[in-house]
Structure 1
């Protein structure tokens, strides 16, 4: 998928007008319009800002390729970790309980 199509798709999905997107990126509406028409391409810094604003990877924005698990690169809080690695936490708790049982038994 072309970059111009991607920018338009994610801008609309975010519920932004060209003017609103331009304001968020400190650029002009004309620049956004040219990006979406494929007349002009944003520079690397602007691409990075677009990806951050749309909460997608740069690869997804530029190539239209959704990474296998784009959430994996985000910092994981304890509850997300516990939800995915509950078995690991269970093993650690059992080991700790067994160790305390031997120490205080």
Structure 2
């Protein structure tokens, strides 16, 4: 029997919680990750560790950050959350260009970024 490491047990528990919140069975989750269900079970119990590639794939499939899986629920400051939102909007800008720029300008005008002071026009061509 493999020995469990505390970090693996904690991460496995967090992965299981995120998987259940996503409404996935171990079998469906294993299929999305191209792993076997037994591997998922062992991972969630903490008897096996994760490769960086597997961790990255889990984060993408479950839409959670690696920080959340490694350290638990991490509360972000409002400025960090808005920064993440700004990055998301810029990433998806080709689809939502006009509305994103309008929203970004609104956030800047109302000083919603705290320590961040970005100029949308300097980041993209309007």
TM-score normalised to structure 2 length: 0.60
Counterpart of 1:39 in 2: which secondary structure? Answer: coil
Query: How many residue pairs align between the two structures?
Result: 88
Map of 2:44 onto structure 1? 36
**CA deviation digits over 1:46-99, x for unaligned, max 9?**
0011112222211111111425145633422335423422347xxxxxxxxxxx
- Tell me whether 1:18 sits opposite 2:30 in the alignment: no
The unaligned stretches of length 5 or more in structure 1 are 89-105
Change (3 A) 1:52 1:72: farther
Q: TM-score, normalised by structure 1?
A: 0.71
> What is the distance in 2 between the residues matched to 1:70 and 1:41?
30
Runs of 4+ more than 6 Å apart: none
Find the counterpart in structure 1 of residue 17 from structure 2. Answer: 9
Q: Which residue of 2 aligns with 1:56?
A: 64
Larger Rg: 1
CA RMSD of aligned residues (A): 2.2
